[in-house]
Amino acid sequence: MAKLEIRNLHVAIDGKEIIKGLDLSIAQGEIHAIMGPNGTGKSTLAYTLMGHPAYEVTQGEVWFKGENILELEPDERSHLGLFLAFQYPVAIPGVSVANFLRSAINARRRAENPDDKGMPIPAFRKILKEKMDLLKMDHDFAGRYLNDGFSGGEKKRTEILQMATLEPEIAILDETDSGLDIDALRVVAEGVNALSGPNLGVLVITHYQRLLNYIKPQFVHIMLGGRIVESGGPDLALHLEEQGYDWVREKYDEAVA
Ligand SMILES: Nc1ncnc2c1ncn2[C@@H]1O[C@H](COP(=O)(O)OP(=O)(O)O)[C@@H](O)[C@H]1O
Ligand SMILES: [Mg+2]
């Protein structure tokens, strides 16, 4: 069973420490949510796991399948079975959603076997159709140009479809704080619910407590000041929904300052 293990992670941006010793372990089959107020370093964690060059890891390790992924390039992380959603996917006019997904699948096949000739088109079409049905998506969507004029919800839908076709073992999804509409939120939640099972581990990162109306994580973590300060089960999510973050701030203010 594959497991992503974050150990004592410290991350700095422009020399300023943002993540200050974070430990977290996510196994296949588990759904985790990291919640926390704005500015606590949630997106910093997501970008660091993706391998964004602006985020400097000053301490700690992230293990997956026997490798410290912090030493790998973003595409190598992906080929290993990690899915790291991009908050702001770029538009590529002229490239259809289907072509983009096929390139992604073929890139991974080539990473496993350099002589691979790519997935035959009929086989790819079959998979794409299955995944779109699973996600209750209109098949016409596959023919549209990638992210070209897509709404927030459609971008998220593309992202979830990409996740469905790549079949990662661990997926990390960061919710953007700005411009997140309820439609996009529902797409992510329904996608995660449709795809979750014993083979998929998910980390959903959000500041948006309403996500918990749609997704039922088994593990809920609260992040404050660059650390995970509380971990629990669905009860913790309920408590957050009723009480907000004030009690967390009060309880941990000293630790954060
Ligand atoms: N690229 C960046 N350059 C400088 N500061 C950044 C950058 N990204 C994030 N920060 C700072 O890091 C802190 C955490 O930000 P972020 O990870 O986006 O928090 P969250 O996602 O929890 O709202 C904030 O103080 C933010 O201003
Ligand atoms: Mg964020």
Residue nearest to atom 25 of ligand 1 (CA): 39
Residue nearest to atom 18 of ligand 1 (CA): 43
Over residues 208-244, the pLDDT tens digits come to 777 777 888 999 999 999 999 999 998 898 888 888 8
Q: What is the percentage of the chain residues whose pLDDT exceeds 90?
A: 59
Kindly calculate the radius of gyration of the chain based on its CA atoms and give it in whole angstroms. Answer: 18
Q: Which ligand is nearest to the CA of 222?
A: 1
Is pTM beyond 0.85? Reply is yes
Residue nearest to atom 26 of ligand 1 (CA): 39
Residue of 32, 35, 31, 33 whose CA lies nearest to 208 = 35
Over residues 201-218, the pLDDT tens digits come to 999 988 777 777 788 899
pLDDT of residue 90: 66
Over residues 83-95, the pLDDT tens digits come to 987 644 567 778 8
| Two structure tokens written together for 220 | 């809920």
Q: Which of 44, 177, 207 to mutate to test the pocket of ligand 1 (most atoms within 8 A of CB)?
A: 44
Over residues 115-169, the pLDDT tens digits come to 999 999 999 999 999 999 988 889 999 999 887 888 777 888 888 899 999 999 9
Residue of 56, 52, 62 whose CA lies nearest to 19 = 56
What's the chain's average pLDDT? Answer: 89
